[in-house]
Amino acid sequence: MKNETMAEAAADNVNGEGGASFSTTNVQVEAVDEEDMVKTDGSYLFHLVQDYSKGSDYSISIVKADGSQMEEVSRIEGLTNINGFYLQGDSLVCVEQLWLETKVPSGDGFLKRLAGYGDSESYMRSGTRITFFDIKDRSYPKKVSSLTTDGYAASSRISGGYFYLISQYTPCRTADPEDPDSFIPIVNGVAMEAASIIIPENTDTDSYLVVASVSLKDPTKFADSKAILSGGNQYYVSADHIYVADTQYRSADTDTSTTNLTVFAYQDGQI
């Protein structure tokens, strides 16, 4: 009887009689969405497709799912090294990894340290691009905006109508001490302000952990951003806090390893 009851309940769920009529991304915290490679709104399937003949080229296929009848109605192309994407009503958000070309600043000191790269007038730094699409008409997705930030996307979430990106950025070893833009994280083309950067007393890293937010209602700019010198690579996001664990391993000066926990509070895009 127990097995029969569970089967009936499952059938009710599929038919929409027991709640949601379609599955969603498995998340760690209710109402805090996570990226995925496949999502659905109950009528359309959205799935990530890689073109292996072009290496890092990706696209998102939008397929109308009507019972056994399936038809691709559109495709979002031109994506590169995509981690995953989000589906929020009539908005689709993509997170991509890329290399950002940066102009070499003038100054003999910097150029000498850059000698290993030749006489190049620019160098590449790791970056993340967040692209927002309007998919109200599933057959004709429209790009709304793209934002970039230094570093690779370590994690991300959507909560309360805001997209939150967690990225790790390590400056170029040949950074010029006289040019802050060469070692301070750049968020959408602008170096972060000193008041938004935290330098802990005890740290053994030259990497930044950057947390930035974007409103889904106004995805043309970052709502807020904060950075901290941290090599943290373990993350947990609750409904109002972001937890980052950074393990510092034993060295010649100490015989113990320690784990530092950094906590960011967030609400309505403010960090």
pLDDT surpassing 60 at residue 17: no
The residue written with tokens 């997170």 in the block is 95
In the prediction, which pLDDT does 184 show?
87
Q: Find the angle CA(45)-CA(49)-CA(51) to the nearest 5 degrees.
A: 160
- Read off the pLDDT of residues 174-212 as tens digits, 9 standing for 90 and up: 566 777 777 889 899 888 999 999 988 777 788 899 999
Whole-number pLDDT of residue 68 = 79
Task: Please report, rounded to a whole number, the percentage of residues in the chain having pLDDT higher than 90.
Answer: 53
Residue 130 has pLDDT above 80, yes or no: yes
CA 97: distance to chain centroid? 9
Q: Identify the pLDDT of residue 1.
A: 38
Given pLDDT bands bounded at 50, 70 and 90, which one contains residue 113? low
pLDDT at 153: 93
Q: What is the mean pLDDT of residues 96-119?
A: 61
**How many whole angstroms from its chain centre is CA 37?**
13
Q: For 131, how many CA atoms within 13 A lie in the half-sphere containing its CB?
A: 22
What does the mean pLDDT of the chain come to? 83
Q: Region 137-151: what's the mean pLDDT?
A: 95
Position 56 scores a pLDDT of 67
The closest alpha carbon to 152, from 188, 119, 128, 129, belongs to 128
pTM (two decimals): 0.83
Mean of the pLDDT values across residues 150-169? 95
* pLDDT digits 0-9 by tens, 27-81: 999 999 999 999 999 999 999 998 777 666 899 999 998 877 899 999 999 998 8
Q: Could you please report the per-residue DSSP string of 87-117?
A: EETTEEEEEEEEEEEEEPPS-HHHHHHTGGG
pLDDT of residue 142: 97
- Give me the pLDDT at residue 253, please: 67
Q: Report the chain's terminal Cα–Cα distance, integer Å.
A: 51
Q: Which of 164-178, 199-213, 223-237 has the lowest mean pLDDT?
A: 164-178
